[in-house]
Amino acid sequence: MTERELWERYQRHLCVVPSVGLTLDISRMNFGADFLDGMRPRMDAAFQAMDALEKGAIANPDENRRVGHYWLRAPELSPEAALKTAITDMQAQVAAFARDVHAGKVKPAKAAKFTQVLLVGIGGSALGPQLVADALGSHRDPMQVHFLDNTDPDGMDRTLGQLGERLSETLTVVISKSGGTKETRNGMLETERAYQQRGLDFGAHAVAVTGDGSELDQYAKGHHWLRTFPMWDWVGGRTSLMSAVGLVPARLQGLDVDGFLAGAKDMDAVTRVHDVAKNPAALLALMWFHAGGGRGTKDMVILPYKDRLMLMSKYLQQLVMESLGKELSLDGKVVNQGIAVYGNKGSTDQHAYVQQLREGVNNFFVTFVEVLKDRDGKSMAVEGDNTSGDYLLGFFLGTRRALFEKGRESMTLTVQDVGARTVGALIALYERAVGLYAHLVNINAYHQPGVEAGKKAAGRVLELQGKLLAKLQAAKAEARSADQLAQDIGAPDEAETVFKLLQHLSANGDHGVKRTGGERPAEARFQAA
């Protein structure tokens, strides 16, 4: 295609969204002339289903739940007055609480004010807040936000160590919709101990965001925490950023939450329109369908040319892959659907994996995110009249061309800046695109059955560990092999898991297990230390 033809294609297909200052360029995706028209019937059905979802239909049939994240930024759309009230009350309570914290009305036991936030959560209870804190945060914010998002003891020590003395002025926000996620529970208990070791009452420095009556809710209320904020079953974890999950940390950090919600609301209004050419979410969904043949055969590379958006791909990994990565279709057929997501930021990634994108396996499509505003204030010239921002643009356009020349497809989202409205709009854009795409491929985007399998398997592993430790205690100083111990605990077929457990137990002093013998699994011997 000549440059002239590309320019024509760029202009013809450019989706312009003035209300949020965003454009979507799909011209470097090589869909055929009849593709968009050909998809019209399936897209219309997706629009109808999405309209029903927003009106309160059961859109998550596997869990018999409604899907209400759009109502979080437009409470007036809620299908019942009670939901609207619940949302606006939550918004008001979160804002008032943050104001009281900033004013020192809610204050720590042994410091003048809370200056740090420690968010303990995982998945949708952390990834969205991490993206927002990074994208919109600055050293001038009234509070800085830290995260514990894993059950890694060393990771907890690093984060709590970085807080150090400042723990006394840290407000811990424990977030778990279910209230039972073990990683979050572990982080909470370890954090609680850190406060206690400094002679601080954890409850006086903690709030919870969780479902009413959950394990976490009961613990928080039973231990007289400062506050609890609600989560509802009609908001999924990966679409909860505009619930208290995202609003509590964002308000405490001092971010422009009103702008964030307004950007999302404005984007929702645009992506509600049944006109594909004017609906960026519909275009994204259709381009995903085109690229992967409705089977996810090409990976989604998210490449923002802006440091502040580096966590966008990590956030979208959950939103896209936990929504679309499904074994069964809505009519029970095995489809193994999904779209893999990866990426970090440009131009940095040009010095990492772009080599393969240009010359390697053509199993991806790129979504560039171009941010027009370089920085607050003016830039210096770094070479001739060129600024660093000129170089960033040059590298983006150069990479886009270098890929296109080799038949590698890309789209480009262009925004004015990385402000609260823009970030809210981007989140809303992808929530809608995922929902529309799910309809195109006939799957339920709003449950996550696959994660239960891993949780159950982990429970079995820890059950085996309990039996192992009891056996080792009883066997005292007798050194035994993994095979023998697997027999001893009545799990002869799980010798490898038993070996892995023993390897970890003997590498740490917590449970008093000693390893002797050779390096190979069959040579190793284990005993109570």
Ligand X SMILES: O=P(O)(O)OC[C@H]1O[C@](O)(CO)[C@@H](O)[C@@H]1O
Among 10-18, 175-183, 418-426, 495-503, the segment contacting ligand X (CB under 6 A): 175-183
User: CB of 178: closest distance to ligand X in angstroms?
Assistant: 3
**Closer CB to ligand X, 124 or 346, in the complex:** 124
User: Which residue from 16, 52, 352, 451 is in contact with ligand X, where contact means CB under 6 A?
Assistant: 451
User: CB of 510: closest distance to ligand X in angstroms?
Assistant: 25
CA distance 61 to 65: 6
Among 153-161, 176-184, 221-229, 403-411, the segment contacting ligand X (CB under 6 A): 176-184
8 has catalytic annotation: no
- Across 372-522, where does the E strand assignment appear? 410-415, 513-517
Catalytic: which of 54, 322, 370, 431? 322
Phi, psi of 429 (to 5 degrees): -60, -50
Q: Helix, strand, coil shares of the chain as percentages rounded to 5?
A: 55, 15, 35
471 binds ligand X (CB under 6 A): no
Q: Give me the residue label for tokens 């109570």.
A: 528
**Cβ 485 vs Cβ 502: under 8 Å:** yes
**Closer CB to ligand X, 450 or 466, in the complex:** 450
Pick out residues in 344-363 that bind ligand X (CB under 6 A).
none
**Closer CB to ligand X, 122 or 498, in the complex:** 122
User: Which residue from 130, 159, 170, 176 is in contact with ligand X, where contact means CB under 6 A?
Assistant: 176
Q: Which of 274, 325, 306 is nearest to 448 (CA)?
A: 325
The encoded tokens of residue 513 equal: 């297990």
DSSP state of 84: H
Among 68-76, 149-157, 174-182, 368-376, the segment contacting ligand X (CB under 6 A): 174-182
CA distance 364 to 342: 10
CA distance 3 to 450: 46
**Closer CB to ligand X, 229 or 526, in the complex:** 229
351 has catalytic annotation: yes
DSSP state of 386: B
State the DSSP string of 327-395: SB-TTS-B------EE---TTGGGGTTHHHHHHS---EEEEEEEES---SS----SBTTB-HHHHHHHH
User: CB of 181: closest distance to ligand X in angstroms?
Assistant: 3
Which SS3 state, helix, strand or coil, does residue 174 take?
strand
181 binds ligand X (CB under 6 A): yes
Amino acid at 500: K
User: Which residue from 28, 42, 177, 298 is in contact with ligand X, where contact means CB under 6 A?
Assistant: 177
**Closer CB to ligand X, 120 or 464, in the complex:** 120
User: CB of 28: closest distance to ligand X in angstroms?
Assistant: 33
Strands 58-60 and 65-66, by their bridges, are: antiparallel
Q: Which residues is 525 bridged to in the sheet?
A: 516
User: CB of 162: closest distance to ligand X in angstroms?
Assistant: 23
CA distance 382 to 395: 15
User: CB of 330: closest distance to ligand X in angstroms?
Assistant: 19
**Closer CB to ligand X, 26 or 175, in the complex:** 175
Size of the site for ligand X (CB under 6 A): 14
Catalytic: which of 373, 455, 478, 496? 455
User: Which residue from 116, 159, 184, 422 is in contact with ligand X, where contact means CB under 6 A?
Assistant: 184
Q: Which of 33, 27, 50 is nearest to 274 (CA)?
A: 50
Q: Convert residues 214-243 into a mask of x (bound to ligand X by CB under 6 A) and - (unbound).
A: -----------------------xx-----
**Cβ 223 vs Cβ 203: under 8 Å:** yes
The encoded tokens of residue 38 equal: 């050909």
CA distance 11 to 27: 8
User: CB of 179: closest distance to ligand X in angstroms?
Assistant: 7
**Cβ 66 vs Cβ 322: under 8 Å:** no
**Closer CB to ligand X, 324 or 354, in the complex:** 324
506 binds ligand X (CB under 6 A): no
Contact partners, residue 219, CB within 8 Å, separation at least 6: 188, 208
Among 47-55, 79-87, 170-178, 421-429, the segment contacting ligand X (CB under 6 A): 170-178
Pick out residues in 97-136 that bind ligand X (CB under 6 A).
122-125
Residue at shortest CB range from ligand X: 237
63 has catalytic annotation: no
**Closer CB to ligand X, 128 or 343, in the complex:** 128
Strands 364-371 and 170-176, by their bridges, are: unpaired
User: CB of 137: closest distance to ligand X in angstroms?
Assistant: 22
Other Cβ atoms closer than 10 A to 328: 15
CA 340 to centroid of chain Cα atoms: 14
448 binds ligand X (CB under 6 A): yes
User: CB of 220: closest distance to ligand X in angstroms?
Assistant: 14
Provide the terminal-to-terminal Cα distance of the chain, rounded to the nearest Å. 72
Catalytic: which of 3, 76, 165, 351? 351
**Closer CB to ligand X, 170 or 184, in the complex:** 184
Please give the positions annotated as active site: 322, 351, 455
Query: Where does this chain bind ligand X (CB under 6 A)?
Result: 122-125, 176-178, 181, 184, 237-238, 322, 448, 451
